[in-house]
Structure 1
C-alpha cells in the first residue's frame, strides 16, 4: 500500500494508548507520513511500551481535564483510541476535577458493553471539540489486506469453519460480547469473552491438553470480525505475532480475519511466525453489517 503524505493543516494527532504493540505501530505509521504524534499512554495499561519514541504525557483513566488541557496545548484537534485495555471498574477510574464534572455521563457509558462504553467516551470528547478518528483512518497501511499473507494455504475444511465462524459472530455481535470464535469441524469450540483473544486461545490450548477437544491438532480456525453496527473508530479487531503464537499452542490450522477491517501489528513478523508454525493467516470478506 502506498504511503501518502500528511494532508496540510491536519496538525498533531493525539493518541490515547493502551498496551501492546499496536499503539506504536500506528504512531510510527502516522509519523512516517510527516504528521506529528502526541501519545497519551494510560497508567496501568501501557507500562513497558517504549513511548519515548514520540512526544508523550502519561495519564490515568478518568483524567479528562488533564488530557484536554495537554492535547489543546499541543495543538491536537483529532484523537485516536488504540491499544489493549482491561475494562476498568468504575472504582478504578481516577477522575480529576473535570472528570468529576463528567461523572454522570461516564457512569451511563459504563452501563453497557465495551462498544457502548467506548462510544460514550468518544461522544464526551467530541463534545469538547475534538474529532475522533479510527486508527485505520490515520494509518490505512495497518489493515489486513485480502488473501493469504504467508505460504500456508487454506483447505475446504478450513473455509467451511471460517464461514460458520463469521455467521456466528454476525449473529452474536449485537450482544456486544466478543469479536472472536474458534471453530473446528463446523463445531464452535470457544467464544471470546472478557478474557480477550489471547485468553481464549490459552483456554483452547488447556482444553486440548486435557483431552476435551476431539479435533486433531492442525484443525480449527480462529475467526475474528468486528461487531455489526460497531463504531469502526474504536476497538477494531487486531492480530499480531502473539496471536500466531497462541493459535499454534492451541493446535489450530490458521487465523481468518476481515480484510480492511482488522488491524495487524508487525505484519512481517506475523507472516514469518505463521509460516514457521505452519499456520495460514487470511483476510476475507465478511457479511455486511
Structure 2
C-alpha cells in the first residue's frame, strides 16, 4: 500500500475551533465514509462539536494531543474553525510533551496571524503528520464561481467589487484582515482584528448616521485570501450571519474568491441571500505573478 493510500485509509485528525464549519466537515467525512479523529479545542469548540469529539484538549496539552493522534493511527491533520484568542505563556505550560516542545511553541506565538499559522503547521509536520486543507478533504464547502444564487452583480457592483478586492490585497500584504466593503467607488470599511461581523455592523452605523448615502441596495463586501496565504488554514468564511449583516448594511451583495473561501451552511446562506435580494458571487483569483 502506497503512502498516499495509507493516508486515505487512516483516520484524519480534525482539530476543531469555533463556528459551524467543523461540524460540516465532519458531516462531509461521514458521507465519504472516511474515519475522523475529532479533537475539540477547549474553550473554542461549540457544544454540538464537543458531543462528537473523541478528545477535548486545552492549549497546555500538546504532548497529550500528539500521543492521542498517534494512538488513533492518524497520518493527516486538518485545522478548522475559528480561534478567538491566542494562548498566553502560562496556559501552554502543561504536560511533559508540551514542555519538551516549548521553545518551538513559544516561537510560534510570535508574529501576525499568517506567521502564527505557518508555524503551527510546521509543528505538526516536524512530527511527521501531513497537514491538509478543506480542498483536500471536503472541497464541496468551498465557494463556487460566478453567481451562486438567483441575483447577479450589476456593472456598478462589479466596479465596487474590484475596488474592495484591491483593498483586501493591501490588507493582506500587511497581514491585517481578509475583508473590505466598497460603495459608490470608495472603500468605506476594512476588516481589522475585530472580524467581518463587527466591520459590517460599522457599515450599518455608517448608513444610519448618514456618513454613507446611497439609494437602495449598494456596495459590495469582498472576502479574499491574503497574498501568498497557505490555503490549508484560515480561509475566509461567509454564512447566514454574513448575509444578515450585509443586508442590514444595505449592501448589494457579497463576493468571495472561488475555491478560496468557505460557505458555511451553504443552502441556508444562498436561500437567505436570494430572499434578501443580495447576490453571492465567486470571483476567480488573479494568476500568480511569474516575474516576467
TM-score after normalising by structure 2: 0.91
SS at match of 1:40: strand
Alignment match, 2:203: 204
Compared with structure 1, are the counterparts of its residues 105 and 140 closer, same or farther at alpha carbon in structure 2 (3 Å cutoff)? same
SS at match of 1:45: coil
Q: What residue is the counterpart of 1:67 in the other structure? A: 65
- State the alpha-carbon separation in 2 of the partners of residues 203 and 109 from structure 1: 32
Q: Is structure 2 residue 188 aligned with structure 1 residue 193?
A: no
Kept in 2: contact 1:62–1:94 (CA 8 A): yes
Mapped pair 1:165 → 2:164: yes
Moved more, 184-193 or 97-106: 97-106
Matches within 5 A, 1:144-159: 144-159=143-158
Question: Is contact 1:45–1:85 with CA below 8 Å preserved after alignment?
Answer: yes
Q: CA deviation at 1:218?
A: 1.2
Alpha-carbon displacement from aligned partner over 1:126-168 (angstroms, at most 9, x marks no partner): 1111110012211111111111111112110100011111122
Distance change (3 Å), C-alpha of 1:102 and 1:210: farther
The separation in 2 between residues aligned to 1:110 and 1:216, in whole angstroms, is 46
Partner of 2:239: 240
Match of 1:276 in 2: 275
**CA shift at 1:248, angstroms?**
1.2
Taking the aligned partners of 2:89 and 2:201, their CA distance within structure 1 comes to: 29
Distance 1:130 1:237 in 2: 24
Runs of 4+ in 1 over 3 A off after TM superposition: 91-95
SS at match of 2:48: coil
- RMSD over aligned Cα, in angstroms? 1.7
Q: TM-score, normalising length from structure 1?
A: 0.92
Counterpart CA distance in 1 for 2:55 and 2:206 is 42
Alpha-carbon contact 1:225-1:237 (below 8 Å) kept: yes
Note if contact 1:170-1:228 (Cα within 8 Å) is conserved in structure 2. yes
Q: Distance in 2 between matches of 1:138 and 1:71?
A: 18
Instruction: Please state whether the residue corresponding to 1:26 is helix, strand or coil.
Output: helix
The equivalent of 1:132 in structure 2 is 131
